A and B are shown apart, each in its own frame.
Chain A
Amino acid sequence: MRGGALVGWVAVLAAAAAAAPLVGVYPLYLMSLAAVAVIVSLGMDLLMGVAGLVSLGHAAFYGIGAYTSALASAAGVPFVLALLAGGVAASLVGVVVGIPALRVSGHYLALTTLAFGEIARLIFLHGEHVTGGASGLPVARPALPGWIRPEVGYFYVILAVAAVLAWFMQNVLRSRPGRAFIALGDSEIAVQCSGVSVVRWKLAAFALSTFYAGIAGGLFGPLIGFIDPASFTIIASLMMVMMIVVGGRGTFGGAILGAIIITLLPEMLRTTKDLQFMAFGLILGGSALFLPRGIWGIAERLVVRSPRAVPAAQVGS
């Protein structure tokens, strides 16, 4: 990330941190949700925006992270370790789901993850003795110093994790694995010709992406105080896809903007569930059709005023 952009993002981070103690409980809750969504979105962008793959069941990995870290916390594991356990569990399952699908083509991953999302939801729902079934599982927040309001303190925890993971992703994209991911999105044939294993790097992208989803899930549980299968449905998975499509694929800013917009979308569309679902479909399809670079791409074009937006190959530069 160039100096100017880095300063800009640090300013955004500082502004969010400064605003937290000043805003009300509900706006702060939305800000926390958005920060959790940013983590999911960063992982999703690696998969969709950079490597050119799509997962239609990411909510399942989010859920695996949430349940794993909640159960670990309940068993007395320290918060940070429980969080990591959630990420690792999601990533391991991601590899198991990804291996068969990724050996063939991108379509297979989309459909396999779609099916897996449904299977995982059923497991969350029917595994009552572990997951609490439909009535859910209560999740405790980590202990924070007493001088800070708990909601504000927990927002700082989420923000810190999001910042570290964003920094990590930027570094990954600038390293050798990152170049492999970017090359995958550009041309699989070229990757193969360069003697780089397509399957291995696709799997690596999927594993990292599901790790991010798992960590986000682990942060989501304590935020709500409660997890149940209704949070990890196909609609949640689609909203994760929407973050990238609406925000803008293959750009850091697009992933963050998309996460914020999609988190606030249900607030903007206060209507029946079915109408909301239809609006999601229309927004998703409309964005994929008419906004190939998302809202971030439009913003970038307005600001930079270059005839073409930054190509995907320059992600992370």
Chain B
Amino acid sequence: MELLLQQVVSGMVSGSIYALIALGYVIIYKATDVVNFAQGDFVMAGAYTGIVTYSLLSLPFGVMLVAVVGIGAALGLAVGGMVSMMLVRFRSSLVNTIIVTLSVGIVLNSAAMLVFGPNPYPLPTSFGKVPISLGGARITPLSLVIIAVCAAVMLVLFAFFRFTRLGKAMRATAQNREAAALMGISVQRMFALSWMLGSVLGALGGLLLAPLIMAEPSMGIVAVKAFAAAIIGGFTSLPGAIVGGLALGVFENLAGGYVSTAFKDGIAYLVLGVILLVKPTGFFERRAVRRV
């Protein structure tokens, strides 16, 4: 029982990061019908930005946070702008948007390889790594901070979409572009905003991940797990992405604890396959497939 609780708590840590990155996928997909195949490399960019500002340049914590958010927003704006231009001006196909976002990811990845090399960089933090006991489970202060930050970001997001005019405008655009445009909402601006928001979530995910696993150019592969988390949630549901991320993190840890640790990283692919076979529309979505 104690082991079970321990595995669940540990799973929540990585799970909440998956959830954050998954939210990024979902926000961009809901608004623009595009899946950002560079999201994993945005995660990587966020991690390296944190390392450069905080650990290499020894800048204050606040500056690091601004830098990470800024990098995420800038990347999102650039890629989102490019993709929107393709869709509006060139009437590009699905395949081309996938390829362009993927290419941005490749360029970022090779840039990280060129600048930082293949060796992993740690991100030392002042939050302790000595576990404290918490109702039967042991957890490090760092893990607690990660969970708390994720929860806070999610709450802010929820409040933003629920209560602010801008958030409502974004939701309206995601629901029906034509109707939103007729209500005087700038659809282009909402697209850009969604891309920025989604990418910032990816970069933040990277920042939170860096102290746990160290940053390396290939760390973007974690985005595959976030993608699986988003699929569990139906790919268009924000609460679904959060539940999906947490569920995947916990499930992965349980499999690692009870079955085999070698099996742990493969579990996301297995979950992905099973969900797609059994319930391809996920558990939080009513109309993911448009039937004619």
List residues of A whose CB falls within 8 A of some B CB: 48, 52-54, 56, 99-101, 103-108, 110-112, 114-116, 118-119, 189, 192-193, 238, 241, 245, 249, 274-275, 277-278, 280-282, 284-286, 288-289, 292
Bound complex: CA A289 to CA B81 (Å): 12
| Neighbour of A104 across the interface among B95, B221, B289, CB < 8 A | B289
Bound complex: CA A104 to CA B232 (Å): 13
Q: Which residues of B contact A288 (CB under 8 A)?
A: 92, 96, 99-100, 103
Q: Which residues of B contact A112 (CB under 8 A)?
A: 272-273, 276
A104 with B288: CB separation less than 8 A: yes
B277 with A54: CB separation less than 8 A: no
B95 with A53: CB separation less than 8 A: yes
Contacts A111-B227, A281-B106 hold; do A193 and B292 have CB atoms under 8 A apart?
yes
A-B complex: 3 closest residue pairs judged by Cβ atoms = A285-B103, A281-B106, A100-B276
- Whether, in the assembled complex, B195 has its beta carbon less than 8 Å from a beta carbon of chain A, the answer is no
Q: Which residues of A contact B109 (CB under 8 A)?
A: 277, 281
Bound complex: CA A175 to CA B113 (Å): 47
Bound complex: CA A249 to CA B94 (Å): 13
A101 with B103: CB separation less than 8 A: no
A275 with B106: CB separation less than 8 A: no
Question: Chain B, 68-108, contact with A by CB distance < 8 Å: what is the 0/1 string?
Answer: 00000000000000100010001011111011101111110
A107 with B98: CB separation less than 8 A: yes
| Neighbour of A119 across the interface among B35, B106, B107, B266, CB < 8 A | B266
B224 with A100: CB separation less than 8 A: no
B90 with A292: CB separation less than 8 A: yes
B273 with A284: CB separation less than 8 A: no
Which of A105, A119, A245 has most chain B Cβ within 10 Å?
Answer: A105
Interface of chain A, main secondary structure:
helix
Q: Which residue of B lies closest to A249 (CB)?
A: B95
Bound complex: CA A108 to CA B272 (Å): 10
B111 with A48: CB separation less than 8 A: no
A48 with B107: CB separation less than 8 A: no
Q: Which residue of B lies closest to A111 (CB)?
A: B227
Q: Which residue of B lies closest to A244 (CB)?
A: B95
Interface of chain B, main secondary structure:
helix
A285 with B280: CB separation less than 8 A: no
B103 with A100: CB separation less than 8 A: no
Bound complex: CA A288 to CA B289 (Å): 27
Interface size of B in residues (CB-CB distance below 8 Å): 41
Question: Chain B, 166-178, contact with A by CB distance < 8 Å: what is the 0/1 string?
Answer: 0000000000000
Bound complex: CA A114 to CA B99 (Å): 12
- Whether, in the assembled complex, B114 has its beta carbon less than 8 Å from a beta carbon of chain A, the answer is yes
Q: Which residues of B contact A99 (CB under 8 A)?
A: 277
B98 with A275: CB separation less than 8 A: no
Which of A56, A119, A249, A281 has most chain B Cβ within 10 Å?
Answer: A281
The 12 listed contacts between A and B (C-beta, < 8 Å) are A52-B94, A103-B276, A108-B231, A110-B35, A119-B269, A189-B290, A238-B102, A241-B99, A278-B110, A281-B106, A284-B102, A285-B99
B99 with A277: CB separation less than 8 A: no
Q: Could you tell me the distance in whole angstroms from the C-beta of A18 to the nearest C-beta in chain B?
A: 37
Q: Which residues of A contact B272 (CB under 8 A)?
A: 112, 115
Bound complex: CA A189 to CA B289 (Å): 11
B95 with A285: CB separation less than 8 A: no
Q: Could you tell me the distance in whole angstroms from the C-beta of A60 to the nearest C-beta in chain B?
A: 13
Number of interchain pairs (Cβ within 8 Å):
110
A285 with B104: CB separation less than 8 A: yes
B95 with A52: CB separation less than 8 A: yes
Q: Which residues of B contact A278 (CB under 8 A)?
A: 106-107, 110-111, 114
- Whether, in the assembled complex, B54 has its beta carbon less than 8 Å from a beta carbon of chain A, the answer is no
Bound complex: CA A118 to CA B265 (Å): 12
Bound complex: CA A277 to CA B103 (Å): 10
Q: Which residues of B contact A116 (CB under 8 A)?
A: 269
Q: Could you tell me the distance in whole angstroms from the C-beta of B228 to the nearest C-beta in chain A?
A: 9
Q: Could you tell me the distance in whole angstroms from the C-beta of B240 to the nearest C-beta in chain A?
A: 15
A289 with B86: CB separation less than 8 A: yes
A100 with B100: CB separation less than 8 A: no
Q: Which residue of A lies closest to B114 (CB)?
A: A274
Bound complex: CA A245 to CA B99 (Å): 9
Q: Which residues of A contact B276 (CB under 8 A)?
A: 100-101, 103-104, 108, 112
Q: Which residues of A contact B273 (CB under 8 A)?
A: 100, 112
B280 with A54: CB separation less than 8 A: no
B106 with A277: CB separation less than 8 A: yes
Q: Could you tell me the distance in whole angstroms from the C-beta of B134 to the nearest C-beta in chain A?
A: 35
A52 with B99: CB separation less than 8 A: no
Q: Which residue of B lies closest to A104 (CB)?
A: B280
Bound complex: CA A281 to CA B37 (Å): 13
Q: Which residues of B contact A107 (CB under 8 A)?
A: 35, 94, 98
Bound complex: CA A185 to CA B200 (Å): 33
A289 with B82: CB separation less than 8 A: yes
- Whether, in the assembled complex, B49 has its beta carbon less than 8 Å from a beta carbon of chain A, the answer is no
| Neighbour of B114 across the interface among A114, A245, A275, A284, CB < 8 A | A275
A118 with B221: CB separation less than 8 A: yes
Q: Which residues of B contact A118 (CB under 8 A)?
A: 221
Bound complex: CA A189 to CA B231 (Å): 23
B269 with A106: CB separation less than 8 A: no
Q: Could you tell me the distance in whole angstroms from the C-beta of B113 to the nearest C-beta in chain A?
A: 4
Known A119-B266, A284-B106; further 14 A-B contacts with Cβ < 8 A: A52-B94, A104-B280, A104-B281, A110-B35, A110-B37, A111-B35, A111-B227, A238-B106, A275-B114, A281-B106, A284-B99, A284-B103, A285-B99, A289-B90
